[in-house]
Amino acid sequence: MAASSLRVLGIDPGLTRCGVGIVDVDRSRRGTLVHVGVIRTPPDMPIGDRLAAVAAGIRTVLEQHRPDAVAVERVFAQHNSHTVMGTAQASGVALLLAAEAGLPAATHTPSEVKAAVTGYGSADKKQVQAMIARILRLDAPPQPADAADALAIALCHAWRRDGAAPGASETLTPAQRAWADAERVARTYIRSGS
């Protein structure tokens, strides 16, 4: 990894499937795939064992690839509270492991991640997968969607690491610039009362 690159581990938390993806992003914001995978646990396994398996998988990735930062998808309310609980528990494990490793960690909302990589905060899974393949110059979109989501989370974090405010177009990717422009138009439209 070049000294000017940032290596980010992105995590799409979940108990059945926890996506993990690592990218190196250089100063020109070009991303390179380092690792992608999915940590799986069977639904009939006791919850403590499932969390331990997720932790072991994340710990292995941390040790093998030595990222500079960790980014986790922020848990949001869904209709299925059982799914939300498992996702929140896996997210907590990921954030704990980052803290234990002394790594800075952040969470990003699904819409923030989608906007960063596609320019559209409501993009669907296929759009995210297609853009990840394009951004990272892959022959095919990463499968399953959890793997692509993890890479998207890592890219979102790397691209926002300088804390650039929306509208600071010289530091935004084309997708982020398009999204910021759309938000600016929407705010103007709402303020004008049209």
Q: Please state the residue numbers annotated as binding site for Mg(2+).
A: 12, 73, 146
Active site includes 68? no
Pair 30, 15: CB distance under 8 Å: no
Residue type, 181: D
Active site includes 12? yes
Residue list for the binding site: 12, 73, 146
The catalytic residue among 146, 149, 170, 183 is: 146
Pair 108, 169: CB distance under 8 Å: no
Burial environment of residue 24 by CB neighbours within 10 A (0 to 12, 13 to 18, 19 or more): buried
Active site includes 73? yes
Determine the straight-line distance between the first and last CA of the chain, rounded to whole angstroms. 50
Burial environment of residue 143 by CB neighbours within 10 A (0 to 12, 13 to 18, 19 or more): exposed
The catalytic residue among 24, 68, 73, 149 is: 73
Strands 31-40 and 17-25: antiparallel
Positions marked catalytic: 12, 73, 146
